[in-house]
Structure 1
Amino acid sequence: MKKNKFVLALISITLLMICMVEVQTSTEPVIAATQGYVKVKAKKKVRLYWASGKHSNYYALPKHRYSYSAKSRIGKKRRSAYKIGNNAHWILAKDVNTVKKAKAATYTKAKMVLPRGYNRTELLKAYEGKPSSSFIAACMQGMKDNTFSRNNLAESKADNETQVDLANITPDQLMTLSDFSLRLINQARDNLGLKPWVDSVGTQKLAQAISTEYEQNGKTIKDGHYVPGIVKACQANGLNLDDNYVEDMAGFYNQKQTLSMTELKKSIYFGIKQMMFGYVGSGESDRGKRSYYQEWEHAGDLFNTQGSLHDGDYNYFGFSVSRTDDICSLHFISVPTYVVKDKKYNLSFKP
C-alpha cells in the first residue's frame, strides 16, 4: 500500500448586372442543396451562362466565392460549368477554382485500455520486482495503444478554449481534472474486473492540502514524495497515518503558468499511463525501449494489487496540482476503504 453541428449554409449569389433586363422566371427550384464552393479566378467580371450555353446578361464578381449546387456540361460545346445562385446561372469551370471546405474540428474522448497479457497475476509479480518478459511486452503495447497523450485531438472545443492558471486553478477546473483522472483509472480497473474507485469530497480536500504542503515547502516530483507534508495533511484531515499511504504522483516540466485544459488533460493522461505500465521515460519517444519499463508500485496501488489482505479492494479518490520552479506535480490521492473503516487509522476523516 505504501506509495513511494454540422450546418448547411445556403449562400445567395451576388451578381453584377451590367444592363437592366426583364427578370426571367424558371421552373428550377429556387434553392438547391449546396455541393461545394468555387471562387472566381479573374480580377475582373466574368460572364455567366444559361444551361443552354447562351450568355446571360449577368456577370460574377471578381475574386468572389459562390456556392454551387451542381456541376455539368452545358450548351452545344458541352463546356464544363458550375450551377450557382438561385436563378439557374452557370459559370464556366475554367473561370473558377474549387474551394475546399474547411474540415470540421474533430474531437475524441480519452480512454484507457489495458492490452492482452496485462492481468493481476502478472502485475503482482512485477509489483514484487519480478516482471515477466511477456508482461513487459504487454506494458509496451499499452503505451503504444493508448494514444491521447500524443495525438493532436482534444476532448472538446471548450477544453481548447479554457485556460487554466496553474497558480489559481478554480474549483470547477480542478473537479474537471479530477473527474478526467478518475474516469481513466476506472476504465482500466474495469478491464481487470475491479470495483471502481469512488469520487470523494473528503479525499479531494486532502489532495488540495497535500499540494499546498508541496508548494509551501518548495517540493516537487523531482524531490520524490514529500512524506512530512503528506503525513501532516493526512493528520490534519483526520487520518492517523505516519507515512505515505495515499499518494501516487506524476509530473512534468513547464515554464508557462497558464495551460489549456487540453494540454493539462494530455499531461495527466501521460502520467497515468506511465504509472500503469511501469514506464519511466520522460516522454513518448522512448516508449519502444524495453529498458524504460522498470517500476510497477504505482500500478499496484492503482489496481489494489499488492499481495495484501486488501487486494481487490477499492479506494476513495481526489486529485490536485502543485507548481514550483516550473515543475508541475500531479497528485493522485486515494484513501483505501479499509483505512476509512479502521478506527486505528480513521480518527475523523469523512470520505
Structure 2
Amino acid sequence: MKPYVEFENGQKMPIIGYGMWQCDSPKQLEDALDVALEAGYRHFDTAYLYQNEDVFGCVLKKWFDSGKVKREELFIVTKLPPQGNHHERVENFLQQSLNNLQLTYVDLFLIHNPATLELGADGKSPKKDASGNVFPDLTTSLEDVWKALEAQVDAGKTKAIGLSNFTSSQVERVAKCARIRPANHQVELNAYYPKKQLRSVCKKYGISVCAFAAFGSPGRKSYYVSPTNNDAHLKLKIPTLFDSPIVKEVATKHSKTTAQILLRFLAQQGIVVLAKSVAPDRIKSNFEILDFELDADDLKRLDSLDSGKEGSWAFDWKLSFPGIYKHPEFLLTEDE
C-alpha cells in the first residue's frame, strides 16, 4: 500500500492526516499538533469553520522557524465555509484562511458544503435572524463557485481544489463543468457507512476520497442526545465501531488497536483517512498503520459492518446552521 494518493497534477496527498475539528482549547490543539508533527504526520486538515486556523498558523511558523520542517514537506488542507461559498467571495475567504495560517498557499482547498448562506455585516459570519436562523443565498451556483476556485489555482493560492459533503449528483455536475477537476472529496466514511455509490462516482472522474469520522464518531452520544434532535434514540441503537466484536477480533488477531484497524481498513482501499485525537499516545498509534496488512478475510468481515444510512453519524449542519436545509443544494438525502 502506498503511503499517499496521487492527484492528476502530480501532488501526493499523504494517506494519513491529522484532523482538527472539535479541539477543546487553543493550548490543547497546539500541544497535539506538536506531538503529531514529531510523530511524522505531514498531512493536516483544518477549515475556516473550525476557528483554529490561527492556532495552526502559529504552530507552523514555530516549526518553520526552527528548521524542523519545510513548507514543501507538508500537505495542508482548509475549507471554504457556506457563507463564503459564492463566486464573488471565494478569493476573500481563501485569503482570510491564508492569513490565519500564515501561508501563501494551501495544498488543497475544499468547498465545505454545497449550500450557500448569506453573508453577515461583519464579512465573516453567516447572516442570522433574531432566532439564530441563517438565510440561504440563491445568487450563485455550484458551477460558478467552482470556476472561482479554479481561479485561485491559477493565482497560486492553492495547488488543488476539491469538495466536501457533496452528493453523487453534485459531484457529477462539478466534474462535468470543471476545467480543473476536483482532486479530492472529503466525506463521512467508515466501516458502518462506506458510501460505495459515491466512491464509485468519484473513481469515475479520477477524484480521490478522504474519510472523516473514520472511527464512526465515538463521541456521538453526547452530541446527538439533545432536545433538538428527535432521531437520537433511533441512531443510538448502533454501537460504536470501537465496541464492534468484529473490529475487536481483527485487532486482537493483528495485535493492533481497534482505531488502527479502522484506519487501515479504509487506507488499504486507497481512501485517505483523518485521525483526530488530542491524547499523545493515540496520536502516535493512529499514525502507525503502514506496518501490517489486513487479509481477505479481515476485509470481508469488516465490510459486513456496512449499515447504510443508519451508519451515518456526521456533524449535523441543521443543528449548527438552522435554516441551511432551505437551500436547494443542501444534503436532504445522503448517498447510500
| TM-score relative to the length of structure 2 | 0.25
Structure with a larger share of its residues in helix: 2
Asked which structure has the greater CA Rg, the reply is 1
Structure with a larger share of its residues in strand: 1
